[in-house]
Structure 1
Amino acid sequence: MPKSPTSRRPGAPPPLLTLAGAALAVYVLRFRPRLLTWGATPGEAAGPLPGDELVPDADTTSTMAVTLPAPPAEVWSWLVQMGGDRAGWYSWDRLDHYGEPSADHVVPEWQKLEEGQRLLATRDGRSWFTVAGLEPERTLVLRSDVDLAAGRSFDPALLPLPWPRLDGVWSFHLRPLPFDETRLVVRTRGKGRPRWLTGPLDLLLGEPAHFIMQTRQFHNLRTRLDALA
């Protein structure tokens, strides 16, 4: 009896599974490298940056960059006031700021930042970024350590470390350019344990989400600086 057009060999994977596998392979090999280095030169993506040492054995890393139409001092004024309980993150506010618009101007009382200071990521204070390093008008390093089981941030100095967990840095690096412009390079480095759990989360959720949010932040920073210019 001839085979039905829809029949398949015994043991062969379902067509949808085959298609999903092919799509994942195309994403990993072709699109993912572009997402992780959007806007950055090869030198920017490969070079070391302050904050890298906080996650020396990172499982995933990204380096994205943009040229902004203002000198580093002006760009720094916007970066230094970031925070869920401060100016926001200049990204998709519905996703990371509870729908409250990020600041559209520089706020004097938010211009002071210190190492060790916490920048809230959620209203209830359960999640935050810690200022792990800063050099005014040049470098800002934010650290995030998340207890996945509890769904909240934790202090990495406390032992024992929670399991499962995510550790990461989000760092901003400003370089002056001619004509009063700034090259802003943003790097993330992350490590998760156990890797069998956090690996798929990074690949399918964490990395694409960061790309969406970071490119939006670049756009909104440029828009604010253009308005001032």
Structure 2
Amino acid sequence: MSGHRSTLGAAAASAVVALALHGLILRPRMLTWGATPDEAARGYPGDDLVPEASSSSTMATTLPAPPEQVWPWLVQMGGDRAGWYSWDRLDHMGEPSADVIVPEWQSLEEGQRLIAAPDGRSWFTVALLEPEQTLVLRSNLELPSGHSFDARSAPLPRAYMNGVWGFHLRQAPGDGTRLVVRTRGLSRPRRFTWPFDLMFGEPAHFIMQTRQFHNLRTRLGRTS
């Protein structure tokens, strides 16, 4: 019995150490991957849409083309449009994201919905749009279904997640673009959603966002 207790104690201690390392070292780096301290600390358009965010990240990369060439790739994003340039098997029903600029997908306006799931019951809404500078997408999801809802409706679902996914472009030296991606989210009830965010939501976003950065660089590198 004492040996069993020792094994459980060692396992519990290992779990605590792993969580501590994740929280103190890995998580801060993951949530600010590629961003400078100034980029991570500053405010961005769309932050005020989730003023009391319970989670946030700021990731960044430098792309090999000026903002006016990056912007068309962002404008045509959407599950029913060009895709998201990430892991297509996970977020685009296995269909390859577009590797060319498609003229019919270059029209975008605030309030427009971009489908995020095959059944059309989950979507992003274009919350802010400033050509060649800012694109902020908003998502309001009922949990656990993951279906979108109108944030203006009342009352709110008992369990939900509200968030923004913002793309901010700035001219970079060498005719490049500094692309900063800011996310802010608020989920309730927090006692249930916090472990999910920590163990799944944040790592999943990191994996998908870094892949999107890579694929955008690849596409722009071919066309520059």
From 190, 193, 202, the counterpart of 2:188: 193
Which of 1, 7, 20 pairs up with 2:15?
Answer: 20
Structure 2: which 5+ residue stretches go unaligned? none
Query: What residue number does 1:131 align with?
Result: 126
Q: Which of the residues 29, 35, 44 maps onto 2:39?
A: 44
Q: CA deviation at 1:152?
A: 0.4
1:54 to 49, 54, 69: 49
Which structure's CA Rg is the greater one? 1
Q: Compute the displacement of 1:41 (Å).
A: 0.3
Q: Deviations over 1:42-79 (max 9, x none)?
A: 00000000000000000010000000000101100100
**Alignment correspondent of 1:226:** 221
Aligned runs of 1:1-229 on 2, under 5 Å?
Answer: 6=3, 8=5, 14-229=9-224
Q: Secondary structure at the match of 1:35?
A: helix
Normalising by structure 2, we get a TM-score of: 0.97
The percentage of aligned residue pairs carrying the same residue is: 67
**CA contact 1:145–1:168 (8 Å) conserved in 2:** yes
- Moved beyond 4 Å, runs of 4+: none
Matched-pair contact (CA < 8 Å) for 1:118–1:131 = yes
Count, aligned residues? 224
Contact 1:139 1:172 in 2 (8 A): yes
Alignment deviations for residues 113-147 of structure 1 (CA, whole Å, 9 cap, x no partner): 01000000011101000000000000000000000
Alpha carbons of 1:7 and 1:194: their partners in 2 closer, same or farther (altered >3 Å)? Answer: closer
| Structure number with higher helix proportion | 2
CA distance in 2, matches of 1:31, 1:150: 30
Distance 1:219 1:14 in 2: 42
- Aligned equivalents of 2:71, 2:166: Cα separation in 1: 13
SS at match of 2:114: strand
